[in-house]
Amino acid sequence: MLAPGVSLQAQSADSEVARVAREGWLAVRALAPIGAPRDRLGPVNRALERLDALIVQVEARYADAAIRAGLAAAQEERDEMAVYLEHARALSNQMALIGPPAKWPLPIDELEGELWFEVDRFLPARDAYERATKVTGSPRAWLGLARVSDRLRDTAAACAAYRAIAAASLEPVEQTEVDAYLLRCKK
């Protein structure tokens, strides 16, 4: 069933943006641990090329900026990453004026938190994850806040964040992380 006032073609384009954004994001995140060498950028570049074809949609522009920010983070290009994140935030704000805010590949605050954490900028990461817990309250946001709080040696905040997601439905690895940290909180 179609949403009121939304054509089948528009919904199809939205789902294509989401699919390509997810593929591009997963490809760039897979390269992060190895620094995103040029000879391994094929899947990322293909996703960016497909997004270019959809660029008339603000969702595609957001996904493009997010993937490029992720690529800059993988290459330790913090200044470039910050520019792409700023652009992604502006696009997310623009989207929120006419409908739901950006969510592919990640909502803006979670995106910023994840990438600032990756490049060891823990204060901006914490700020972003704190915003994300207020805006989306997703388990990913709380887990990010818990991890960055631990890195900042703020055990009380880390314990509070891990407690906030203790009952959430998580992947087994994440659930093990939460359970193990909560044992530390009892000491």
Q: Which two tokens stand for residue 41?
A: 């950028």
Mean pLDDT of 126-130: 98
Cα–Cα distance measured from residue 40 to residue 158, given in angstroms and rounded to the nearest whole number = 35
Fold of the CATH domain 108-187: 1.25.40
Considering the entire predicted model, what is its pTM? 0.85
- Measured CA to CA in angstroms, residue 23 lies from 29, 53, 149 at distances of 10, 15, 29
Q: Which two tokens stand for residue 52?
A: 């270019």
Q: Which two tokens stand for residue 31?
A: 């390269």
| pLDDT over 90 (residue 93) | yes
Q: Which of 53, 57, 54, 80 is nearest to 69 (CA)?
A: 80
Give residue limits of the domains in the chain. Answer: 7-105, 108-187
Residues 179, 167 contacting (CB under 8 angstroms): no
Q: pLDDT by residue (tens digit) across 9-30? A: 556 767 888 899 899 999 999 9
